[in-house]
Amino acid sequence: MSSTLYVDRPSPVHRLNPVTKFVALLSIIVIVFALPYWWVAAVVVGAVIVPAAAVSGCGGRLASIGSKILLPIVIVLVIVQGLTFPGGRSPIFEWGILTVTSEGLMFALGIGSRIVCLVLASVLLVLTTHPGDLMAALTQRGMSPKFSYIISSTLQLIPAFRDRADGILLAQQARGLAISRNPIKRVGIMMPLVGPLVLGMFTDVEERSTALEARGFGSTARRTALVPVADSLAQRIARWIMPAIALAAIVVPIVLPLVAKAAP
């Protein structure tokens, strides 16, 4: 079982320096949350994430994982905000005591579009970037190996959690556990698996900590990369431009109203 969602492809997106992709992810997050317009996130998804997924050959995998994560979130968000938004005054649909308002749906659209952009961009980074390459690239750029490992291991958290859960479930089924098709009964059957799953993750953390200490991970000596991660001048320039655009997305909405008020 794989402990990462990384999909190996000979694509231009895969060949990008992991730091470039990581900076792009952070810049996208800042931009879509700084600008209070739902269409900004839609433009980022349509103009950046979807083309990048198509070029990388991970479009199908991204759609599969993204839909599983986002569909429940979006449905709950639309239902809750559409029905309970406190400033809703323009009803669109009424059924008994339930009223869906346009203000609630617009608020849900704004939050939902940002969440969709955040999740898709993050999943695309995981699909096109090997955690080891990301850790090596961050370390080469001067980041502490400890922080590099935290970022890299975070990308492996969900796959590792899923693999361990699958292993526990298979072991329980081998001992006679019957999985019902009824969703309610299925949840009840799965609850006893939570204990072994959580304890197993704690054991895994302890084993990793011991292995890292044995390899001198806490040493302050300068490290030499066994396989240097390729980089280019264009990517180094892009890593300065993207944060500048993100900073502008924060500053411009604040400065423009002040300029408009100061204008005669």
- On the question of pLDDT at 2 being above 60, the answer is no
Rounded CA-CA distance 169/194 in Å is: 10
Q: If we measure between CA atoms, which residue out of 166, 41, 164, 156 comes closest to residue 108?
A: 41
Element (H, E) at 110: helix 102-128
Alpha carbons within 13 angstroms on the beta-carbon side of residue 154 total 12
Rounded CA-CA distance 66/116 in Å is: 8
Mind listing the pLDDT tens digit for each residue in 114-173? Answer: 999 999 999 999 899 888 788 778 777 777 766 676 776 666 666 666 666 677 677 766
Give the pLDDT of residue 45. Answer: 93
Hey, which residues does 99 pair with through a beta bridge? 94
DSSP sequence for 53-84? HHHHT-HHHHHHHHHHHHHHHHHHHHHHHHHH
Average predicted confidence (pLDDT) for the chain? 79
The residues, any chain, with a CB within 8 Å of residue 63's CB and separated by 6 or more, are none
Give the pLDDT of residue 170. Answer: 74
Give the pLDDT of residue 108. Answer: 84
Rounded CA-CA distance 13/128 in Å is: 7
Rounded average pLDDT over 170-181 = 68
pTM above 0.75, yes or no: yes
pLDDT band at 1 (very low <50, low <70, confident <90, very high): very low
Q: If we measure between CA atoms, which residue out of 46, 9, 7, 5 comes closest to residue 28?
A: 46
Give the pLDDT of residue 120. Answer: 93
Domain-wise residue ranges, the chain: 1-144+232-264, 156-216
Mind listing the pLDDT tens digit for each residue in 14-66? Answer: 999 999 999 999 999 999 999 888 899 999 999 999 999 999 999 999 999 88
pLDDT band at 7 (very low <50, low <70, confident <90, very high): confident
Strands 98-101 and 91-95: antiparallel
Beta carbons within 10 angstroms of residue 257's beta carbon? 9
